[in-house]
Structure 1
Amino acid sequence: MASSMRSLLSDHSRYVESFRLFLENSTEHQCMLEFIDRKLPGIISSIGKGKSAINILSVGGGSGEIDLQILSKVQAKYPGVAINNEVIEPSNEQILSYKERVAKTSKLENIKFTWHKETSSEYESRIKEKKEFKKWEFIHMIQMLYYVKDIPATIQYFHSLLEAKAKLLIILVSGTSGWAQLWKKYGPRLPLNDLCLYVSSADIKEQLDIIGLKYQIYELPSTMDITSCFIAGNKEGELLLDFLTETCYFSKTAPLDLKNEIMEELKKPECSEERGGKVFFNNSLSAIVIEP
């Protein structure tokens, strides 16, 4: 029975649909934007000192929604300074969305955008091959470390590209989130795709301590309304369950015992909170700022 379960990433359109629902039902983007508003100006306060241009590298920039918010803070901190914003993004669709977003956004005159349709490891190989040693004032990797083969090596490589006063920002799910709880307990029984690792900020913190890098962690509280997951046959609930388990058609293909266990788990206080007849999953993120 378990063999009919397959990774959500194997069905691109269903993944996109479930991800869209996840964003609609969660405060994922709001909590990131709040962090960018409140904390980022202080974090980037010295990256552009004395620079005539600021180089920013977005690793896994997606459709650019968060990137443009980051850029607006850099512009506000360093008015009139030229910004070179390069984006590494393997999805053609996402790059097109990003370009459309840029086209519709005003006040980007001093920013030069360059997109590289490749993964972070393809970028690394290409740069090493060309023996290019460009340094960056700010590098950010938002919700993308789940998709790299060797996390410590990836962090070390991009860290090595930082200028003296630069910063490397990583955002991913918190070690205290419902995700970390779910993955720890059920990861081995779910159809883990080669493309996706169950990793939280607790794992990254451990790696950074081993490597010996200096960092600071900010917790970004966030929730996701998963009430519809408990309504039998609810289409939105089924899509959200797919997203939570990274499994395509989870409620139809998962063995009954696994399905029952996960539905129980999702209601536990380690994963979610019940408020006003609704179930809110702990979707908290961590922002990790690494020094050069």
Structure 2
Amino acid sequence: MAADEGSFVESFRVFLELSDKRRIGADKSSLSVLGVGSGGGELDIQMLSLLQSTLPAVPITADIMEGSSKLTDNFKVIAVQCTFDWHTLNSEDYAKQVIAKGDVKKFDFIFRYEKGLFAVLKVLYYVDDLERTIKFYHSLLKPNGRLICSCKKGGWDTLWKAYEKELHDGPVTHFYSSAEVVACLKNLGLKYEQHTFFPSCDITECFNPSSGTGKQLLYFMTSQEDFYQSFTPEIRAGMLDLLRNKCSTEKDGRVFFNDGFSCILVDP
């Protein structure tokens, strides 16, 4: 699924190229970035490096919010170039902390894209109130800042809507499609730009029950660590049939998953 990350970074690069650099860093002595649900930081580092290369004379401070202490430690190992502040908290606890302090820190960029399903600030898949969560992070933007969201389309929509009950009985409690996120932004009266990408991923190994790679891919796409133990034979068969025939295309005997997503840039 590395193509996902590459496409997202590429979309951010295009955004920086097409934006007026003087507007992005207008009269700023520094830039502040908030990474939400940053995991091990592999993608955040790419995004921050790209931002720094665009504005080499402007120091960047990155606040990193990640609920896993293990992943935060992994991120710290590769953290370079920028100044980092670490918040080992989930989204709701971070929001409570910010509100309790009263002195709210504002950011020029707020972004999160996590490979695979967990996108749209990642944490949106763990919250009940989509509108409230987006509204909170949007409130942290500085003037001329940007909230950058990525949400799944294509095969992800098809799979997670068809098996909503089964797949939500796990760590991911909600699947919000790009259409739902856009509807939320419209309801909040927020201006945005939407860019859609349609990369693909070879998931042929998913249909080989003895393939370790296939099992990892199925874990990745369903958020169930053991696909074959988590579902009944009937549910497994239905999911695999859906993945092959409704979520993918076949070429030269290989099965390519429609790994589409939208990158949404929200204005302040």
TM-score (normalizing by structure 1): 0.82
Number of matched pairs: 259
* Structure 1 residue 244 corresponds to structure 2 residue 215: no
Task: Give me the whole-angstrom Cα distance separating, in 1, the residues matched to 2:19 and 2:130.
Answer: 23
Q: Choose the corresponding residue for 1:113, options 68, 84, 92.
A: 84
TM-aligned CA deviation for residue 101 of structure 1: 0.9
Q: Which residue of 2 aligns with 1:14?
A: none
Identity %: 32
Q: Choose the corresponding residue for 2:173, options 196, 208, 228.
A: 196
The 1:98–1:190 alpha-carbon spacing in structure 2 relative to 1, beyond 3 Å, is closer
Aligned AA for 2:190?
L
Deviations 1:42-82 (A, max 9, x none): 35732220111111111112222221222223223322212
Aligned AA for 2:101?
K
Alpha-carbon RMSD across the aligned residues, in angstroms, is: 1.9
* Structure 1 residue 255 corresponds to structure 2 residue 236: no
Q: Which residue of 2 aligns with 1:138?
A: 109
Q: Which residue of 2 aligns with 1:5?
A: none
The 1:98–1:286 alpha-carbon spacing in structure 2 relative to 1, beyond 3 Å, is same
The 1:235–1:71 alpha-carbon spacing in structure 2 relative to 1, beyond 3 Å, is closer
The 1:255–1:195 alpha-carbon spacing in structure 2 relative to 1, beyond 3 Å, is closer
Q: Which residue of 2 aligns with 1:122?
A: 93
Aligned AA for 2:217?
L
Question: Residue 171 of structure 1 aligns to a residue in which SS?
Answer: strand
Q: Is the 8 A contact 2:197 2:262 kept in 1?
A: yes
Aligned AA for 2:152?
V
Task: Give me the whole-angstrom Cα distance separating, in 2, the residues matched to 1:54 and 1:44.
Answer: 15
Q: Choose the corresponding residue for 1:36, options 1, 12, 15.
A: 12
- List alignment gaps of at least 5 residues for structure 2: 114-118
TM-aligned CA deviation for residue 191 of structure 1: 5.1
Question: Residue 67 of structure 2 aligns to a residue in which SS?
Answer: coil
Q: Which residue of 2 aligns with 1:276?
A: 252
Q: Choose the corresponding residue for 1:58, options 32, 35, 49.
A: 35
Q: Choose the corresponding residue for 2:137, options 158, 167, 187.
A: 158
Q: Is the 8 A contact 1:172 1:286 kept in 2?
A: yes
TM-aligned CA deviation for residue 284 of structure 1: 1.4
TM-aligned CA deviation for residue 288 of structure 1: 0.6
Task: Give me the whole-angstrom Cα distance separating, in 2, the residues matched to 1:80 and 1:267.
Answer: 49
The 1:242–1:53 alpha-carbon spacing in structure 2 relative to 1, beyond 3 Å, is closer
Aligned AA for 2:107?
W
TM-score (normalizing by structure 2): 0.89
TM-aligned CA deviation for residue 100 of structure 1: 0.9
TM-aligned CA deviation for residue 210 of structure 1: 1.4
Higher-RCO chain (CA-CA 8 Å, sequence separation at least 6): 1
